Amino acid sequence: MINVLTIDREYGSGANVIAEKVAQRLGWKLWDQALTTEIARSLECEKTLVQEREERPDPLSYRLMKSFLRGSFEGSLSTPRLKLADAEGIRAITEQLVMNAAREGNCVIVGRGSAYYLHDSPDALNVFIYAPFEEKVRRLQAAGYSEKEAIELAETVDVERADFIKQNFGVEWPPRPYFHLMVNSAMGDDCVVQTILACLQSVQTCFVR
């Protein structure tokens, strides 16, 4: 029985809006910004800090500094275990939260590596949403970004996301075998929502049989 839907996405594809609509139609809990909030609470830091660092690797300079600090503290029993709001700290907490959400079921989880953590789960349907570059720029401009900002974001965010997935899961992003359905959001949000729901219903029917 499928009771978890993961939605990975290209930045600017409108997946957050689509995921919200799907969750509302299903009556399932949406884990998007709520997941970021829980990560921040667990790490005892500001939500904005998590938003800046989730789904992207730490800069090389930071990784070198962290390696130095770990070496400096190694073997010290009196040193408390730090809750670091860096890529690895956020990733570890995210994995716990995603797995907990999946165990509870009836949820839609947006990004954060959820499709990769739940890749082998028989209860999860993994969806990937993409869009042509011009469509992503249009959507980002509609969200309030200037044309220059929208183009820069569309060009850079997914590069960092791909680096994060490669570093943590050892696959080239997006790995097609990980997804049951890949949808172009240029067809319109409502059409994408209907496509996802139809796929979910079809898979559920196959399970019943």
What mean pLDDT do residues 7-23 have? 98
Q: What pLDDT is attached to residue 59?
A: 53
Ordered DSSP codes for the chain: ---EEEEEE-TTS-HHHHHHHHHHHHTPEEESHHHHHHHHHHHTS-HHHHHHHTTSPPPHHHHHHHHHHHHHHTT-TTSPPP---SHHHHHHHHHHHHHHHHHH-SEEEESTTHHHHTTT-TTEEEEEEE--HHHHHHHHHHTT--HHHHHHHHHHHHHHHHHHHHHHH-SPSS-GGG-SEEEEGGG-HHHHHHHHHHHHHHHHHHHH-
What mean pLDDT do residues 153-165 have? 94
Ordered DSSP codes for 119-143: TT-TTEEEEEEE--HHHHHHHHHHT
73 vs 202, residue with greater confidence? 202
Residues of the chain above pLDDT 90, percent: 72
What mean pLDDT do residues 190-202 have? 97
Nearest alpha carbon to residue 95 among 116, 121, 81 = 116
**Are residues 129 and 16 in contact, defined by beta-carbon separation less than 8 angstroms?**
no
What mean pLDDT do residues 78-88 have? 56
Query: pLDDT tens-digit profile of 103-145?
Result: 999 999 999 999 999 999 999 999 999 999 999 999 999 999 9
| Domain edges within the chain | 4-73+83-208
What mean pLDDT do residues 34-47 have? 91
CATH superfamily assigned to domain 4-73+83-208? P-loop containing nucleotide triphosphate hydrolases (3.40.50.300)
pTM: 0.86
